[in-house]
Chains A and B, each alone.
Chain A
Amino acid sequence: MTSTSFRPDVFAADSPTLLGSRCTACGRKAFPHREVCPTCGALDAAETVELSKDGRIYSFTVVRQAPPGLETPYVLGYVDLPADEVRVMSRIEGVTPEDVAIGQSVTLTARRDERAEDEDTVMFAFARTDQEDR
């Protein structure tokens, strides 16, 4: 079954991949793609790059009340990608609200976008892995 990305500009759904940008002037990466480099301010120096799939949880929250259309509870976190020095806000899956913790290792995956009409629409998420936590 092929799936459709909720935002093809930031996420490739088949073999899940986050698409960011790399500034050809200073070399720093950003997510999502930024035409103006947030680090050095260079204009029109951004090239699209695939970001690392390995992250660690910088912070998280368990959302237990949300507007209509969002099924609760869910875990939302900031996930740091150390290889890219990029931070991504994402759902965190494969871990119960009781067991999620700062510093845990997570890996990029795809999850169904429950607010999309099309059942094949997916968004990015990070899932708990068995790797040693840092």
Chain B
Amino acid sequence: MQAVHVAGAGMIRFGKYPVDVTLEKMGEQAAREAMRSANATPAEIEAVYVGHVFGGPVAGQRIGARLGLAGKPVTNHENYCSSGATALREAWIAIGAGIYDVALVLGVEKMTDRVKGGVQPDKDDLDAAVGFIFAAGHGLSARRYMEDYGATREQIAMVAVKNHQHSTGNPYAQYQHEVSLDQVLNARPIAEPLGLYDCSPISDGAAAVIVASEAGLRRLGVERAMAPRVDGCGLVSGTVQAGLGDVNEEDVSWRAGQEAYRLAGIEPSDVDFVEMHDCFTIAEIVRLEGLGVLPKGQGGALTAAGHTSLGGELPVNASGGLLSRGHPVGATGAAQICELYWQLTGQAAGRQVEDAKVGLAYCKGGSVSGTDGASVTTIVMSR
């Protein structure tokens, strides 16, 4: 397949916006920023890939019509929280196959006017019927992780402390302030042992990138040095779990990681930094272990020791992650790609990972009763 690059990125600050800041307005603004960043006019964009969950039918076309992109092929991609990353993967496949040279990928979500109390699986899902919400799933995971590996509540809470510290350097983050360990430990409980600061917020937002082949880069006039390569986009779905195994085995993360490493031709040890789907503190720990970038059962202790902090051995969520940047579900995957682009092109002032050469972005979306997840995307980019 032909090489695929990110030629430009744009997003709006994630947060809670008034009702009149609509999905369409947010999507339009992020897309315009990405197009400006890549010198792309509407005429140069050949296809549009949009990830969203709660945007309703054909949200992508509604936004495209506002961008001068009416008439182009537009597709809408729903894979719950990995929708934005799934949209990128579709663009990567199409450009890699030589069908297009320049495409727009957009992740967008309006949540604060339509989601209350936490996100759930489909209402007909058996787990949802007995009271499962995503926070509860991660509470179950955290309790068992502490039991099996001797991890402490404090170690898990340090994920929130670290990511909030990182967020102070990210102008696009919903929250840009530090939180103390005491604040995390003493916050209002949500799904014990997890409290408010262990949970990513319900947010509005949009993020977009322009992806291009080498011919596309020439057409846009974007230098190769300013267009990191998308080395591989892994996608797996969860498998039906049988028996009484470890709920934190993270086989779905392992398989997604293997897929990305295979496609990119790298080893886990080649990864310099990670944007991880920390929808909940514990999730960052067990998913990093599943990916094989941290040893099993040691993620909590390593987080507390600064291993995954900026300046540490493997910086994770230099952006502040979902916990601080916010989590407009369909936009998150695209925001991670924006962050990889800014890090790999040295444009992440205030949170720059030193000598960032290879970045990995991980998203996990949704749940299906009895499985270890619905969709996981793993994207490797290098400069």
Contact = CB atoms under 8 A, between A and B. Distances in A.
B220 to A, nearest CB: 44
B27 to A, nearest CB: 26
Given A102-B147, A123-B130, A38 B244 contact: no
Given A32-B369, A91-B130, A76 B136 contact: yes
A89 B247 contact: no
Interface of B: 116-118, 120, 126-127, 129-133, 135-136, 139-144, 147, 188-194, 239-244, 247, 369-370
Given A39-B242, A97-B192, A70 B131 contact: yes
A67 B120 contact: yes
Contacts of A68: 116-117
A1 interface: no
Contacts of B133: 63, 66-67, 70
A38 B191 contact: no
Nearest to A89: B127
29 contacts: A7-B126, A7-B129, A30-B240, A59-B140, A59-B247, A62-B192, A63-B131, A63-B191, A64-B188, A64-B191, A64-B192, A65-B188, A66-B131, A66-B133, A67-B117, A68-B117, A70-B117, A70-B131, A74-B131, A76-B130, A76-B131, A77-B140, A78-B140, A85-B244, A87-B241, A89-B130, A89-B369, A102-B147, A124-B130
Interface of A: 6-7, 10, 28, 30-32, 34, 36, 38-39, 58-68, 70, 74, 76-78, 80, 82, 85-87, 89-91, 97, 102, 113, 123-125
A58 B247 contact: yes
Contacts, number: 116
A133 B141 CA distance: 21
Nearest to B245: A87
Contact of A67 (B118, B127, B141, B241): B118
A30 to B, nearest CB: 6
Contacts of B127: 89
Given A89-B130, A102-B143, A67 B192 contact: no
A20 B241 CA distance: 14
- Name the 10 nearest CB pairs between A and B, nearest first: A61-B139, A67-B117, A38-B240, A38-B242, A59-B144, A62-B192, A39-B242, A59-B140, A61-B191, A59-B143
